[in-house]
Amino acid sequence: MAKKREETNGVFSEDVLAKLQNTKKELQQEERQRVEEAEAKRQFERKQREKNLSFEELLDRYGDQGSKF
């Protein structure tokens, strides 16, 4: 009898299915947050490296693209 109640919605009961769906949503949200944090960290580190470049290195990297007055 207990197995019949658990198998009302295929293999899992509705309560277990709802818990699984909530867990899936939470895991997806955590993964999205980790990706966003990694991207922000990458951008910050790039800016920090760029701050430490000398004028000559910046000129070599970006060239003479400025406007002339």
Count of structural domains, the chain: 1
CA distance 5 to 12: 9
Q: Is residue 16 within 8 Å of residue 8, measured between CB atoms?
A: no
CA-angle at 12, arms to 11 and 13, nearest 5°: 135
Question: 2 in a domain, yes or no?
Answer: no
42 within a domain of the structure (yes/no): yes
Task: Decide if 20 contacts 12 (C-beta within 8 A).
Answer: yes
Average pLDDT of the residues in 19-35 = 97
pLDDT tier at 35, thresholds 50, 70, 90: very high
Q: What is the pLDDT of residue 6?
A: 47
Range of 49's domain?
Answer: 26-61
Residue 39 lies in a domain: yes
Q: Does some domain include residue 38? A: yes
pTM: 0.56
Statement: residue 46 has pLDDT above 70: yes
Residue 34 lies in a domain: yes
Decide: 51 and 45 in contact? Cβ < 8 Å: no
**Residue 54 scores a pLDDT above 80:** yes
